C-alpha cells in the first residue's frame, strides 16, 4: 500500500540508495550497466521518486504559481492554458491563483506559494504595487505577464497597451468617428490605465478631446459593460463609437445597444480588447485588439525559469510585444440612422 521508495529499489537492485539516486539523475558517477539495471528495477517496481522529498534537499519543486485576476475570465483562462502547456512540457505544474485583483487575496496567495516552495511566480494580476514590491525583495523568482508593475524591479513581458489602444483609436478615427467614449475596467490595473491613456492620446493628436465623463469605469463583467453603456446611450450627445478595455465590457455594450434598439455597427461601433473566444461568439463579431498570448507566455516562462541557467541575478528585463488590430464586424462609419 505504501508507495515504493528509493530504499526498495536499492535493496531490490542490490545497490546503495546513492547509486539509485545517481542513476535517476544521470550524474555521471555510475556505470552504464549498473545504471540500466537500476532503471529496470525502478520500472518493475513502478517506482516514482517523491518530488517533495527531493525538493527538501534543495532541489526544485517543479511547481509554479500563476497569479491572475480570474480564471473564469476568458482572457486569463487562455493565459492559464498557455502557461500550463509550456510549463508541463518543461516538467512543471502550475498552481492557479485567482485574486480578483484584491490585495488581501494576492497577499494570501503569495504567502501560500512561498510555503509551498514554488520555483517561481508569474504575476498577471492587479493588486497594490506595494504588495507586489515585497515580492521583489524575496528570493522567489518573479516575472510579470500582460501587465506592468510600477517601479517593480522584476522582469516581465507585456504587450504595448498604449499602442493597442492607439490602434483602436486610429481605426475608429479613420472610419470617421469623432464622438467616442471608453469603457474601462478597474483603473488600478496598469494595463487598463494604459489603454485609456493610449486611446485618449490618439484622439488628442487628432484634435479630439476626450472628457473625463467620456471614460466610464466599470465592473469587469458583461453586466458592468452593459450598465455603463446604457447610461452612455441615454446622453443627448451620445457617442458613435465605444472603445472597451476588455471583451466582457464589449459584450455588455453590444447587449445594451441591442436593448436600446441601436444597431451595431450602423448606429454604434464598438471595439473590444484581447481577442478571446468571446469576440467570435457575438453577433456582430467583435472588432478587437489581439495580444500574442502564446508568445508572451513563452517568453515569460523563459524569463522565469531561465532558458540559460545564469539568468538569476541579471538586470530585470522587460519585453514588450506588439498588439494587432483585428477588424471584424462591430465597427463601421458613423451614420445617424440610429433608431431603426
Residues of this chain that interact with DNA (CB under 7 A) are 2-3, 5-7, 14-19, 21-22, 24-25, 27-31, 34-35, 47-50, 53-54, 56-59
Residue number with CB closer to a copy of itself (185 or 194): 185
Distance, CA of 277 to CA of 300 (rounded, Å): 23
- Longest CA span, the chain: 87
Of 19, 63, 191, 245, which one interacts with a copy of itself (CB under 8 A)?
63
Residue 254 makes contact with a copy of itself by CB under 8 A: yes
The CB-of-39 to DNA minimum distance in angstroms stands at 12
> Taking contact as CB under 8 A, which single stretch among the options 18-26, 64-72, 177-185, 203-211 is the one that binds a copy of itself?
64-72
Residue 116 makes contact with a copy of itself by CB under 8 A: yes
The CB-of-118 to DNA minimum distance in angstroms stands at 15
The CB-of-138 to DNA minimum distance in angstroms stands at 15
DSSP 23-61: HHHT-S-S-HHHHHHHHHHHHHHT----HHHHHHTT---
User: Running DSSP on this structure, what letter comes out for residue 323?
Assistant: P
Distance, CA of 21 to CA of 7 (rounded, Å): 10
CB 80 within 8 A of CB 124: no
The binder of 275, among DNA, a copy of itself, none, by C-beta within 5 to 8 A per type, is none
Residue 162 grid coordinates:
498604449
Number of residues that bind a copy of itself (CB under 8 A): 53
Residue 219 grid coordinates:
465592473
Of 16, 25, 36, 52, which one interacts with a copy of itself (CB under 8 A)?
52
Residue 8 makes contact with a copy of itself by CB under 8 A: no
Handedness of CA 301, 140, 189, 203 (dihedral sign): negative
The binder of 261, among DNA, a copy of itself, none, by C-beta within 5 to 8 A per type, is none
User: Strands, DSSP E only, in the chain?
Assistant: 63-68, 93-98, 120-123, 142-145, 155-159, 180-185, 215-218, 241-244, 269-271, 288-290, 318-321, 324-326
Residues that bind a copy of itself (CB under 8 A): 1, 3, 48-53, 55-56, 61-63, 70-74, 77-78, 80-81, 84-85, 88, 93-98, 108-109, 111-117, 139, 222, 248, 251, 254-255, 258, 277-278, 280-283
Amino acid at each position: 500500500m505504501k508507495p515504493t521508495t528509493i530504499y526498495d529499489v536499492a535493496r531490490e537492485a542490490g545497490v546503495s540508495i546513492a547509486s539509485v539516486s545517481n542513476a535517476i539523475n544521470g550524474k555521471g558517477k555510475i556505470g552504464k550497466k549498473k545504471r540500466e539495471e537500476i532503471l529496470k528495477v525502478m520500472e518493475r517496481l513502478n517506482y516514482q521518486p517523491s518530488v517533495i522529498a527531493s525538493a527538501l534537499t534543495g532541489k526544485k519543486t517543479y511547481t509554479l504559481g500563476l497569479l491572475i485576476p480570474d480564471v473564469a475570465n476568458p482572457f486569463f483562462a487562455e493565459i492559464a492554458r498557455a502557461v500550463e502547456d509550456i510549463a508541463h512540457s518543461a516538467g512543471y505544474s502550475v498552481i492557479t491563483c485567482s485574486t480578483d485583483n484584491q490585495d488581501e487575496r494576492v497577499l494570501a496567495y503569495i504567502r501560500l506559494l512561498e510555503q509551498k516552495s514554488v520555483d517561481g511566480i508569474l504575476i498577471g494580476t492587479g493588486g497594490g504595487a506595494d504588495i507586489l514590491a515585497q515580492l521583489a525583495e524575496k528570493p522567489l523568482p518573479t516575472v510579470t505577464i500582460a501587465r506592468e508593475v510600477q517601479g517593480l524591479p522584476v522582469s516581465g513581458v507585456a504587450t504595448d497597451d498604449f499602442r493597442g489602444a492607439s490602434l483602436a483609436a486610429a481605426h475608429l478615427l479613420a472610419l470617421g468617428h469623432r464622438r467616442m467614449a471608453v469603457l474601462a475596467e478597474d483603473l488600478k490595473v496598469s494595463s487598463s490605465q494604459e489603454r485609456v491613456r493610449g486611446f485618449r492620446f490618439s484622439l488628442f493628436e487628432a484634435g479630439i478631446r476626450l472628457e473625463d465623463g467620456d471614460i466610464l469605469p466599470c465592473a469587469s463583467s458583461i453586466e458592468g459593460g452593459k450598465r455603463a453603456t446604457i447610461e452612455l446611450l441615454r446622453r443627448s450627445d451620445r457617442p458613435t463609437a465605444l472603445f472597451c478595455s476588455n471583451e466582457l465590457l464589449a459584450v455588455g455594450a453590444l447587449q445594451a445597444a441591442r436593448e436600446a434598439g441601436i444597431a451595431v455597427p450602423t448606429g454604434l461601433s464598438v471595439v473590444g480588447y484581447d481577442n478571446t473566444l468571446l469576440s467570435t461568439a457575438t453577433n456582430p463579431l467583435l472588432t478587437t485588439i489581439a495580444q500574442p498570448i502564446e508568445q508572451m507566455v513563452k517568453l515569460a516562462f523563459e524569463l522565469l525559469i531561465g532558458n540559460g541557467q545564469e539568468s538569476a541575478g541579471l538586470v530585470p528585463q522587460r519585453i514588450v510585444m506588439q498588439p494587432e488590430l483585428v477588424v471584424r464586424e462591430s465597427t463601421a462609419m458613423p451614420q445617424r440612422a440610429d433608431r431603426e
